[in-house]
Amino acid sequence: MYWRNSNFQIAHFLAGKCHTMDGAYRMLLELREDREIAIRGVKASSLRAEAKKARANVVLANPPCESDKLEAMADIAEIEASEDMSKAVYEQGLRERDFIDACIAKVEPLRKYRHLPDHEAHQACQQEEWKLELVHRAKTFLLTGGTIPQDHLSTMMCHPDFKSDIAPQIDNFMKPGNMLLSQIDTNGEIVKLLGCELELSPAA
C-alpha cells in the first residue's frame, strides 16, 4: 500500500465527511501538507542513505581492520535492502498527493469563501461547518442511543445558531416518523464530487 490514506478514505471518510466545501478544502490542504512533508522526508532520508553508503565504500576501499570492513558491508546491505521500500513509499506519496490535488481542484471553485486568503477562509467557514457537524452528531446520538449527551448538548447551546437553526432541526428530527437513517446527512454533494476522482483512478 505505502499510503497514509487511500483515495477512498480521502473521498468518503476525511474530506467527504466535511459539511461544506470550505471545510473539505481545509481538510484537503491539511492532508496535502502531511503528504508533502512525507515526500520531502523520503528525499532527505535517501540523501542520508547515499552519504552513508559512500562512506562505507570508502572504508571498503581501504579498511583499517576486519571489523570496520564488516560494519561497512552491513551498512551497504541495510541501505540496499531498504531502497525498494523507500522508492515505493516515495512514489505512493506522489500518487496520494496527486489525488488530493485533483480533489482540491474539484472543491475550490465551489467554495463560499474562496475570495479570502486561506487563513481567513478557514476561520470564516467554522460557524457553518460546526453548525452542520453538531446537528449531524445530535441526530446520530438520537438514532443510536435515544438521547443527546449532556456535554454535546451544552456545546450545541453555545453555538450562535442554536436557537435559530440547530434546535429547530433537532426538534423536527425528533417528530414521529422523522427519526430515520434516511434523515441523516451523508454529505452527498462532497462525496459525489470527490467520487468522480475515484472513478478516474481505479488502480490507486
- Span 45-97, pLDDT tens digits: 889 999 999 999 999 998 889 998 999 999 999 999 888 888 998 999 999 99
Per-residue pLDDT band at 3 (split at 50, 70, 90): confident
φ, ψ of residue 163 in degrees (nearest 5): -70, -40
Which amino acid appears at position 166 of this protein? Answer: I
Q: What CA–CA distance (Å, rounded) separates 191 from 114?
A: 20
Query: How far is 24 from 121, CA to CA, in rounded Å?
Result: 12
> What is the model's pLDDT at position 91?
93
Q: What is the DSSP letter of 195?
A: H
Q: Phi-psi bin for 162: left (phi > 0), alpha (psi -120 to 50), beta?
A: alpha
* pLDDT of 204: 46
Contacts (Cβ under 8 Å, ≥6 apart) of 83:
49
Confidence of residue 187 (pLDDT cuts 50, 70, 90): low
Instruction: Identify the weakest region by mean pLDDT among 57-66, 101-110, 191-200.
Output: 191-200
Q: What does 149-198 look like in DSSP terms, one character per residue?
A: -HHHHHHHHHSTTIIIIIHHHHHHHHSTTT-SGGGS---HHHHHHHHHHH
pLDDT of residue 178: 80
- Predicted confidence at residue 201, as pLDDT, reads 58
pLDDT at position 200 over 70 = no
Residue 183 scores a pLDDT above 80: no
Contact 138, 170 (CB under 8 A): yes
Q: What pLDDT was estimated at residue 18?
A: 94
Q: Which of 114, 39, 23 is nearest to 15 (CA)?
A: 23
pLDDT higher than 70, residue 29: yes
Look at residue 199 in the predicted model and tell me its pLDDT: 67
Question: Each residue of 133-146: pLDDT tens digit?
Answer: 999 999 999 999 88
Single-letter residue type at 110: L
Looking at every residue in the chain, the average pLDDT score rounds to: 90
Provide, rounded to the nearest whole percent, the portion of the chain with pLDDT above 70: 95
For residue 90 the three cell numbers come to 516515495
12-21, 23-32, 164-173, 180-189: least confident range: 180-189
- What is the residue type of 123? Q
So what's the pLDDT on residue 203? 46
pTM over cut 0.75: yes
How many angstroms separate the CA atoms of 174 and 179, rounded?
6
